[in-house]
Structure 1
């Protein structure tokens, strides 16, 4: 890929992304307070007083302590405008030392805190519920080092994922993680939620990609596990305590991540398919035909793609079909890889598994197709209130819940659709209704989680438990595992100040 083409692709992506965000932003009104909407009672934390604000201003400076209501409000609301907190203070540290001082003080005063990265989460984990102090990591955005031989990148937790990807691409490397929210989400938030994303099939999850972590405990103690080694088998692997803990055991301040080599060739196929059974057969064939170059195998049903085309006016490069499959390859020889993907397309069109399709290696066309897939999550917000579910299921049951929900809701929803990462069993199920009602919510929850449990699935595949799912976590974790989680929480955060009301049910 030439530098000129890559920059063209980035420019197109930036323009499209800004247009989509503006449409989504204008589509929603101020959400109801989470505490009222979900009938949550405030825990026995101290109230923020003027003396507390003055202390924070002394250690951070006036400009990095936000207290004006209009300044604080955006940090109180999650991206999909489902949850809304009541914080009156936002802190913006620039160093681990400042984070340590903040947490030590808050722990002694029993002031609850809410760590916040790019605030792109979908389960309310990154915004407060009541008046927790928001610690926003936007200003901790430095790249500390990059070993271009081993691919070990060390950076602060507030670095935006897309910025990191651009940084390492200029040095012939690639971030192992790719998300639709990459232009906003931060690597610390990615790690704390164990984000999955579009490249997991090829590069694995963050438990494997993250080499080391620096984190701060509730009492201000800095835990330094930042060694950037592929192998370090000395004692307990403490970094894994913080990956996926959503800021409830400690606050991640630095990350060491392994960056694979930048693929010399990227090829993308977009196909129309008749039914989900054919998608499974196609996936089996893709693993055999494309082998080591297969990096992504995504699916979306007609309603998912049509909602995006209709609400965001994005182009669909092929005609309307019941299902769509997106296949991407990462390799070292564009001609070889393109030929393999084209041969795969031709073979499966002859077999009838693919009804129509297109294959491209052109950066701008690749980005246009990916933009269609990555914009699904935001497209539904334009149309009304969206219930979003992120679950893992055995592939044979991967799509079962979508038609079940359409039948169960019996016309009460504007649209129900499914899309996701077939390669790792993660499906996203979206239910769009004109407005939130407890009646619709009661039809969906806990029904969806009960069905997932029957299939031995997981109620959270990559977005975490956050605020929305603690009382459903028992559908995926047995009592012994939950008790150990609670024991760890008690040990590491005995006053419970770190991201309260999240992940674990009330102790």
Structure 2
């Protein structure tokens, strides 16, 4: 269910926060991913607050009457909701609300709409929706978007409820509103319920972890893999040797395949273990005989499968031990996928600690990560907008799966034409005319909503 955020301190405290460019009682921060000190968003990005209303004691009293026992006002309790998941920046929201019904969400948004109070949707316990970062407005509402959404219930900015919940797989009556709201990162409304497709758990799962001597071999292996495994192929992931070094060094994990420039994780999912194992065995024989793969291992039991997946899934965790992380979620034509990593390493040289690449090769999705001891504005300027320009030249997307959030909103034109952005702004103005939902996120500032 949705949840929401707001701290109980007065407007004077907020003004002091902005005037001093830091949070009271919080040490000045380097903004490292592994640091305990976190920089205020308004300091790092010089964002200015739009002319929303200030949270007053009467507002807090209203929420406490509406949701007794589910309004968090303590400074320490609210603090985690203000910090992005990488612990790189923090906002100054003052209160956390935890509604349990669509009716409560509706009343919250109706009240905020009437009072012109800004609301920042978050992603529940998993972090902020779309990777967005908190700024410094009064309220943060949280919601989670899931894959395989069939339909949903949603509450719009003015508090009106949109009941579209159904289990029908096909429904082509009018516009598909679901697709409009999926990926909107809480800027158009708050999802309170979803109907999702839950595929049956496969009876047979196999995982192969392989070593390749070049990215060209990774690509050839992928082509062979799709041809020979076909309907049972459920995942094809890759990572470079720098990623492996990080998980071995910081997390003490051990790779079953040693000294490879690239690693590939292949998962098959099916209903007949004998059939699937035979197909996988034939593929591995072909890959080894043709020199595509130099070494590898296969896991069929659940425990060993989890061990192999951890080498890929815990890369993000290992990166946080390196210091500050500049993260980019890019989609590109598969043949160009790793060229961006190579070009970025050449561009940054010794100014970056590490430049690594990993991701979902089957989706053409690259996770480019650049680490440094601490945040550096000069390093950021060397990365951006170069990374977006490079991606645009290859007809890629600057945000493949995690959304634009706050940090990427002004780069949307690298992936979407001007006319498309204007249409998105029109949708936003129609559904949220006061701009109270997740302000400063996803879309560049419209001409008529310039900062104050």
Q: TM-score by structure 1 length?
A: 0.80
Q: Which residue of 2 aligns with 1:86?
A: 92
What SS does the aligned partner of 1:310 have? helix
Structure 1 CA distance, aligned partners of 2:244 and 2:106?
A: 45
- Compute the displacement of 1:489 (Å): 0.2
- Compute the displacement of 1:343 (Å): 1.7
Matched, 1:362 2:301: yes
Select 1:47's aligned residue among 45, 54, 74.
54
- Compute the displacement of 1:189 (Å): 2.4
Q: Which residue of 2 aligns with 1:179?
A: none
Q: Which residue of 1 aligns with 2:6?
A: none
Select 2:66's aligned residue among 38, 59, 62.
59
Contact 1:342–1:359, Cα closer than 8 Å, also in 2: no
Contact 1:416–1:432, Cα closer than 8 Å, also in 2: yes
Structure 2 CA distance, aligned partners of 1:372 and 1:421?
A: 14
Residues 102-130 of structure 1, C-alpha deviation per residue, up to 9 Å, x if partnerless? 00000100000111223545887454211
Structure 2 CA distance, aligned partners of 1:383 and 1:125?
A: 20
What SS does the aligned partner of 2:351 have? coil
Structure 2 CA distance, aligned partners of 1:89 and 1:352?
A: 59
Select 1:107's aligned residue among 86, 109, 113.
113
Please identify the structure whose Cα radius of gyration is greater.
2
Select 2:39's aligned residue among 22, 29, 32.
32
1:239-388 alignment to 2 at 5 Å?
239-388=178-327
Q: Which residue of 2 aligns with 1:199?
A: none
- Compute the displacement of 1:412 (Å): 1.1
Contact 1:298–1:325, Cα closer than 8 Å, also in 2: yes
Structure 2 CA distance, aligned partners of 1:30 and 1:124?
A: 23
What SS does the aligned partner of 2:90 have? coil
Report the aligned-residue RMSD: 1.5
CA 119–416 in structure 1, closer or farther in 2 if over 3 Å, else same: farther
Contact 1:80–1:122, Cα closer than 8 Å, also in 2: no
What SS does the aligned partner of 1:27 have? coil
Residues 178-204 of structure 1, C-alpha deviation per residue, up to 9 Å, x if partnerless? xxxxxxxxxx5234xxxxxxxxxxxxx
Contact 2:122–2:128, Cα closer than 8 Å, also in 1: no
Residues 447-491 of structure 1, C-alpha deviation per residue, up to 9 Å, x if partnerless? 100000000000000000001100100000001100000000000
Structure 2 CA distance, aligned partners of 1:28 and 1:344?
A: 45
Structure 1 CA distance, aligned partners of 2:125 and 2:390?
A: 29
Matched, 1:472 2:427: no
What SS does the aligned partner of 1:279 have? helix
Q: How many residues align?
A: 415
Structure 2 CA distance, aligned partners of 1:466 and 1:119?
A: 17
Structure 2 CA distance, aligned partners of 1:420 and 1:72?
A: 33
- Compute the displacement of 1:233 (Å): 1.3
**5+ long unaligned stretches in structure 2:** 1-31, 447-452
Residues 76-97 of structure 1, C-alpha deviation per residue, up to 9 Å, x if partnerless? 0011112311101111111111
**5+ long unaligned stretches in structure 1:** 1-24, 137-187, 192-205
What SS does the aligned partner of 1:101 have? helix
Structure 1 CA distance, aligned partners of 2:195 and 2:126?
A: 22
What SS does the aligned partner of 2:39 have? coil
Q: TM-score by structure 2 length?
A: 0.90
Greater alpha carbon shift after TM alignment, 28-37 vs 385-394:
28-37
Structure 2 CA distance, aligned partners of 1:295 and 1:402?
A: 25
Q: Which residue of 2 aligns with 1:229?
A: 168
1:138-149 alignment to 2 at 5 Å?
none
Runs of 4+ in 1 over 3 A off after TM superposition: 118-127
CA 124–31 in structure 1, closer or farther in 2 if over 3 Å, else same: farther
- Compute the displacement of 1:410 (Å): 1.1
Contact 1:123–1:465, Cα closer than 8 Å, also in 2: no
Matched, 1:73 2:79: yes
- Compute the displacement of 1:494 (Å): 0.2
Structure 2 CA distance, aligned partners of 1:410 and 1:126?
A: 29
CA 122–427 in structure 1, closer or farther in 2 if over 3 Å, else same: farther
What SS does the aligned partner of 1:233 have? coil
- Compute the displacement of 1:342 (Å): 1.8
Structure 1 CA distance, aligned partners of 2:278 and 2:138?
A: 55
Greater alpha carbon shift after TM alignment, 82-91 vs 386-395:
82-91
